[in-house]
Amino acid sequence: MPAVGRTEIIATIGLITAGIIGYRGYTGEELQKLLARHPRVSAVLIDQAAKTQAASAAAESLTTKARQAARQAMSQAGRRSFPNPPVRLARDVLAGPPLDVVFLATPPEASVEWVPRFLRQGSRAIDLSSAFRIASPDTFARWYGTAHPCPEWLAEAVYGLTEVYRGRIATARLVANPGCYATAAALALRPLERHGLIDKASLVVCDAKTGVSGAGNKATQATHFCSVDENYSVYGTMNHRHVAEIVATTEIPEERFCFSTQLMPLRRGIMACLYFRLREGADAAGIEGAYLADYENDPFIALYPEGSFPSVASVSHTNFCCIGYSVTQPGNRAIVVAVIDNLVKGASGQAVQNMNAMFGFPETEGLP
């Protein structure tokens, strides 16, 4: 795998080349910001739209025009005060020497088209879509209602929940970045299930809420300000596709898992509220122990003392996953609350964390 040899060189020169395809959405923008501040990465934006020579020229001219506008405005500052990466057409990128890594902030339909191309060229890939998250083609077909278009690549994909799979991520050519809900829920539930703390007969409920950026930047009736403001709504339940990721990572049987997804009237953040019964004899100290055992050295997991819970704002603009818990008698009833920023730990931040793991950089490098 050429990427490995490349990693060795990187360890010496400390600089890799990265591309972002699908850079106009919220996760793509967040990736630009993170990579612009990352000391070991030189980034380029990859424009997937233009495919012919003419379109290529047009794109270049548009880019030039945009630069002039930017100059004319002296800076335009604001949210884009970081240095803008250059824009290249995908066909040109694919024709040149391979980038070390390509981030795909594209819909799954586009990811299945572009991932194989970049992998064949010799780049490693981190896909932020849902295209490669389910290891088994059969399971994929059941949840997505269609056969996977390139199952030969599924086997190679490593699920990018960094805290859990960083060993395999380090040598992966293709990393499937987890869903935002799945990140919060699986990080909170996996240690408890793995250490045998959850009653095997208990329902495990995950009541999960997201900010509006989780719905993407497409303008729809659902994302209209007047639909969201002063409102709160349920938009997905047990059949939400993230359930497949959560049950695969936690090994909690699907038939015991309850899930719903809700839209909060705020911009960014995810909270997963988890409810279940502990097995007899388990207690709050056991919960703390399981988390410490699994995450003791993890820089982005923060555990709250029993009985206090993190709020969504406490992780805003960070790559942290904060977890709080409490246990109530009678009945050994437990509640666990996990929060992340959906655009950072739930998407682009974890993607950068995975890149750090893939290239042997410190895992916190370039992350807020």
Q: Is 289 in the site for a copy of itself (CB under 8 A)?
A: no
DSSP letter string over 137-202? HHHHHHHHSS--S-HHHHTTEEE--HHHHHHHHHT-SEEEPPPHHHHHHHHHHHHHHHTT-B-TTS
Q: Which is nearer to a copy of itself, 13 or 226 (CB)?
A: 226
Is residue 297 part of the contact set for a copy of itself (CB under 8 A)?
Answer: no
Does residue 231 interact with a copy of itself by CB under 8 A?
A: yes
Indicate whether 313 belongs to the interface with a copy of itself (CB under 8 A). Answer: yes
By CB under 8 A, the count of residues binding a copy of itself is 82
Of 142-150, 157-165, 301-309, 352-360, which segment contacts a copy of itself by CB under 8 A?
A: 301-309
Q: Residue 293 has which token pair?
A: 């055992």
**Cβ of residue 253: shortest distance to a copy of itself, in angstroms?**
8
User: Are the C-beta atoms of 301 and 291 separated by less than 8 Å?
Assistant: yes
CB atoms within 10 A of CB 222: 13
- Which lies closer to a copy of itself via its Cβ, residue 83 or residue 331? 331
> Any contact of residue 72 with a copy of itself (CB under 8 A)?
yes
Does 230 bind a copy of itself (CB under 8 A)? Our answer is yes
Residues 317-336 that bind a copy of itself (CB under 8 A): 318, 320, 322, 324, 326, 328, 330-331, 333, 335
Other C-beta atoms within 10 Å of 59: how many? 17
17 binds a copy of itself (CB under 8 A): no
Q: Taking the complex as a whole, how short is the minimal distance between the CB of residue 81 and a copy of itself, in angstroms? A: 6
**Residue 330: is the preceding peptide bond cis (ω within 30°)?**
yes
Question: What is the DSSP secondary structure assignment for residue 348, as one 8-state letter?
Answer: I
**Residue 166 structure tokens:** 């960083």
Please pick, from the candidates 13, 54, 95, 219, the single residue that binds a copy of itself as defined by CB under 8 A: 219
Backbone angles phi, psi at 332, to 5 degrees: 55, 40
Integer-rounded Cα radius of gyration of the chain: 21
In the residue annotation, 206 being an active-site residue is answered as no
Residue position matching structure tokens 């410190």: 362
**145 counts as binding a copy of itself under rule CB under 8 A:** no
Q: What's the rounded Cα separation, in Å, for the pair 117 and 23?
A: 18
Q: Which stretch binds a copy of itself (CB under 8 A): 70-78, 104-112, 159-167, 172-180?
A: 70-78
Binding region for a copy of itself (CB under 8 A) out of 154-162, 172-180, 214-222, 244-252: 214-222
Reading phi first (left if > 0) and then psi (alpha if -120 to 50, else beta), residue 364 is in alpha
Place of tokens 């923008």: 29
Nearer to a copy of itself, 89 or 344 (CB): 344
Where in 249-288 is the site for a copy of itself (CB under 8 A)?
Answer: 254-258, 260, 262, 264-269, 271, 273, 275-277
Nearer of residues 136 and 318 to a copy of itself, judged by Cβ: 318
* Residue among 121 and 326 whose Cβ is closer to a copy of itself: 326
Closest to 364 measured CA to CA, from 37, 19, 26: 37
Q: Which is nearer to a copy of itself, 140 or 291 (CB)?
A: 291
Strand-pair category, 233-236 with 257-263: antiparallel
Footprint (CB under 8 A) of a copy of itself, residues 189-208:
201-203, 205, 207
Q: Is 29 helix (H, G, I), strand (E, B) or coil?
A: helix
Cβ-based nearer residue to a copy of itself, 194 or 333: 333
* Annotated catalytic residue within 180, 273, 321, 322: 180
Q: Which among 51, 48, 209 is positioned nearest to 115, based on CA atoms? A: 48
Which residues are annotated as catalytic? 180
